[in-house]
Amino acid sequence: MNKPIGIFDSGVGGLSVWRHLVKDLPNESVVYFADTANCPYGPKSQPEIIAVVDKVVRFLISKNVKLIVVACNTATAAAIDYLRATYNIPFIGMEPAVKPAALNSKTKSIAVLATEGTFNGKLYIETSQRFASDVDLHIKIGDKLVDIVEKNQINNSETENHVKELMAPLIQKNIDHLVLGCTHYPFLTEVLKKVLPAKVHIIDPAPAVIKQTSKILEENNLLSNNSLKPVYEFYSSGESQVLQSLIFNITNKKYIVKSL
């Protein structure tokens, strides 16, 4: 089926998932929506998140998408059950990659870096109880990290110092796996590598999410059979400069971001 895939986030973070999507599913056209006007989702209440996400989903459905990737851990935690109950279209959400971290940990000490909204979500709580019962699981709210990525302040010394401060208590806990529980955080991987011990494995859940996306497309007979070049569209509900900059960094191509 040659309809596009929809993907959205509260801002630019979902591009960390988009880049895996277009790499692993190169025949698929994609419509990306950055809800920058409402970023960040993390501090918002569940009803607030459902309200803003509902508008985004209705926009993507108006673009005739065949499946929607909720490329935001907070939005997944707060709204995915509502979305699946409301719309007759497959939704793929973000799942905290606690299971592989717990299974592969040698020190039996792992950490999840995420927003408050993700930690309060049912999915995170259930996943942690299921897969992390035999390890020490440490949680850390990524204070200011979404704003840092949204303002494209990734590679400055203040950011490195801030990340070092955030990671210090986790390093003291002898962690050997750090799960990135927000789609903005993979853009900070190089900074994290600088401040974390070499033994700490940083887990980006995006590849597993795209694997699930591919599986659902195949099961529902929705894979594109188009031999034409895929089309990538980008929309933003607010400022689009950082979005354009990160898209260029990922693709080395200039794409127009349409502001709504």
- Residues annotated as catalytic are 72, 182
8 A C-beta contact, residue 62 and residue 39: no
CB atoms within 10 A of CB 170: 20
C-alpha distances out from residue 118 to 12, 41, 123, 203, 243, Å: 17, 10, 8, 16, 23
Residue 158 token pair: 């203040």
- Element (DSSP H or E) covering residue 211: helix 206-219
Residue 258 token pair: 């349409």
CB atoms within 10 A of CB 159: 18
How many whole angstroms separate alpha carbon 210 and alpha carbon 222? Answer: 14
- Element (DSSP H or E) covering residue 141: strand 136-141
- Tell me whether residue 167 is exposed, middle or buried, using C-beta atoms within 10 angstroms of its C-beta: 0 to 12, 13 to 18, 19 or more: buried
8 A C-beta contact, residue 116 and residue 69: no
